[in-house]
Chains A and B, each alone.
Chain A
Amino acid sequence: MNAAAPLLRTTGLSKRFGGHTAVSEVGIDIAQGEIHCLIGPNGAGKSTLFKLVVGMHEPTAGRIEFQGRDVTGDRPFRRVQQGMSIKMQTPSVFRELPVRQNLHIALQHHVRGAELAREEDRLLELLDLARDQAKPAGALAHGQQQWLEIGMAIALRPALLLMDEPTAGLSPEETFRTGELIRELNAGGMTVLAVEHDMAFVRQIAQRVTVLHFGKVFAEGSIQEIVADPRVAEIYLGKTQ
Chain B
Amino acid sequence: MLKLINGSQTLGATRAFWLPFVAVVAAMLVYPVFADAYSVGNMAYLLLWVFMAMGLCLVWGYGGILSFGQTLFFGIGGYGYGVLAINLGGESATTVLALALAILASGAVAAVLGYFMIWGRIGGVFFGIVTLSSTLVLAFFLGQTAGPEWRVGEARLNGFNGMKDMAPLNVPWFGGEPLYFEGVPLYYLVVGLLLVVYLGLRILLNSRFGHVVVAVREDPQRAELLGYDVRKYQLATFVIGSMLAGLSGVLYTSWGQFITPASVGLPAASMPIVWVAFSGRSDLTATTVGSFLVLWTFQALTVHSQQAALLLMGAMLLATVMLAPQGFVIGMVQLVRGVFAPRRRREAATAMAEEGGS
- Given contacts A92-B222, A108-B208, whether A97 and B227 have CB atoms under 8 Å apart is no
Return the contact of A156 from the options B214, B215, B226 (Cβ within 8 A): B226
Q: Which of B214, B219, B227, B229 contacts A109 (CB 8 A)?
A: B227
**Most-contacted residue by chain B among A77, A81, A96, A98 (CB, 10 A):** A77
* A182 interfacial by beta-carbon distance below 8 Å: no
Query: Is B306 engaged at the interface, CB distance under 8 Å to the other chain?
Result: no
Do A80 and B225 form a contact, CB below 8 Å, given A92-B219, A94-B218, A95-B218? yes
Bound-state Cα–Cα, A94 to B223, Å: 9
Distance between Cα atoms of A130 and B221 in the complex (Å)? 26
A106 located at the interface, meaning its Cβ lies under 8 Å from any Cβ of chain B in the complex: yes
Question: Is B212 interfacial (CB-CB < 8 Å)?
Answer: yes
Query: Is B227 touching A77 in the complex (CB atoms < 8 A)?
Result: yes
The residue on B at minimum CB distance from A101 is: B8
- Contact assessment for A105 and B225 in the assembled complex, using a CB-CB cutoff below 8 Å: no
Query: Which B residues are CB-close (under 8 A) to A54?
Result: 225
Residues in A neighbouring B227, C-beta threshold 8 A = 77, 80-81, 109, 156
Q: Are B219 and A105 in contact (CB under 8 A)?
A: no
Complex CA–CA separation, A97 to B215 (angstroms): 8
CA distance A77 to B212 in the complex (A): 13
Task: Let me know if B226 and A105 touch, CB within 8 A.
Answer: yes
Of B211, B218, B221, B228, most buried by chain A (CB within 10 Å of CB) is: B218
Q: Does A26 contact B (CB under 8 A)?
A: no
Question: Which of the residues A75, A97, A106, A109 comes within 8 Å of B224, measured between beta carbons?
Answer: A75
The answer to whether B211 touches A93, judged by C-beta atoms less than 8 angstroms apart, is no
Chain B residues lying within 8 Å of A109, measured Cβ to Cβ, are 226-227
Residues of B within 8 A of A106 (CB): 226
User: Which bracket fits the contact residues of B?
Assistant: 10 to 19
User: Is the C-beta of A194 less than 8 angstroms from some C-beta in chain B?
Assistant: no
**Secondary structure dominating the interface of B:** helix
Cα A96 to Cα B218 in complex, Å, equals 7
Query: Are A97 and B214 in touch, CB under 8 angstroms?
Result: yes
Q: Is the CB of B8 within 8 A of A94?
A: no
For the complex, give the distance between the alpha carbons of A97 and B214 in Å.
Answer: 9
Within 8 A of B (CB), among A31-80: 54, 75-77, 80
Task: Tell me the complex Cα distance, A230–B124, Å.
Answer: 52
In the complex, chain A residues 87-118 whose Cβ is within 8 Å of any chain B Cβ: 88, 92-98, 101, 104-106, 108-109
Bound: A93/B226 CA distance, A: 11
**CA–CA, A75 and B230, complex, Å:** 11
Instruction: Tell me the bound Cα distance from A76 to B224 in angstroms.
Output: 7
Query: Which residues of A are found within 8 Å of B223, using beta-carbon distances?
Result: 105
- State whether the Cβ of A152 lies closer than 8 Å to any Cβ in chain B: yes
B208 near A97: Cβ-Cβ < 8 Å: no
Q: How far is the CA of A39 from the CA of B319 in the complex (A)?
A: 54
Q: Do A105 and B229 touch across chains, with their CB atoms under 8 A apart? A: no
Query: Please, which residues of chain A bring their CB within 8 A of the CB of B226?
Result: 77, 80, 105-106, 109, 152, 156
Known: A77-B229, A98-B8. A105 touches B215 (CB 8 A): yes
The answer to whether A86 has its CB under 8 Å from any CB of chain B is: yes
Determine whether the beta carbon of A86 is less than 8 Å from that of B208.
no
Which of chain B's residues have a CB closer than 8 A to the CB of A98? 8
On chain A, the residues within 8 Å of B214 by CB distance are 94, 97
Q: How far is the CB of A241 from chain B (nearest CB, A)?
A: 34
Which residue, of B225, B227, B230, has the highest number of chain A Cβ atoms within 10 A? B225
The listed residue (B222, B229, B230) touching A93 by CB distance below 8 A is B222
Inter-chain contacts of B8 with A (CB < 8 A): 98, 101
| Complex Cα gap A90–B211 (Å) | 23
Across the interface, which residues of B come within 8 angstroms of A101, CB to CB?
8, 211
- Which residues of the other chain, B, contact A96 by a CB distance below 8 angstroms? 218
User: Do B218 and A86 touch (CB < 8 A)?
Assistant: no
B225: which of A76, A95, A97, A104 is its contact (CB, 8 Å)?
A76
Residues of A within 8 A of B225 (CB): 54, 76-77, 80, 86, 88, 92
Q: Which partner residue on chain B sits nearest A94 by CB separation? A: B218
Q: How far is the CA of A162 from the CA of B208 in the complex (A)?
A: 25
Minimum Cβ distance to chain B for residue A91 (Å)? 10
Assess whether B212 is in contact with A105, with CB atoms less than 8 Å apart: yes
B199-223: CB near A (< 8 Å → 1, else 0) gives 0000000001001101100110111
Distance between Cα atoms of A86 and B218 in the complex (Å): 18
Nearest CB on A from B220, distance (A): 11
- Within the complex, what minimum Cβ distance (angstroms) separates A149 from chain B? 8
Residues of A within 8 A of B218 (CB): 94-97
Chain B residues lying within 8 Å of A92, measured Cβ to Cβ, are 219, 221-222, 225
The 3 closest A-B pairs by CB, nearest first: A80-B227, A94-B218, A92-B222
Which residues of A are in contact with B by a Cβ distance under 8 Å?
54, 75-77, 80-81, 86, 88, 92-98, 101, 104-106, 108-109, 152, 156
7 residue pairs from A and B, CB less than 8 Å apart: A77-B229, A80-B226, A80-B227, A88-B225, A98-B8, A105-B226, A109-B226
Beyond the given pairs A93-B222, A95-B218, 6 more chain A to chain B contacts, judged by CB atoms under 8 angstroms and listed by A's residue number, are A75-B224, A75-B229, A77-B228, A86-B225, A92-B221, A109-B227
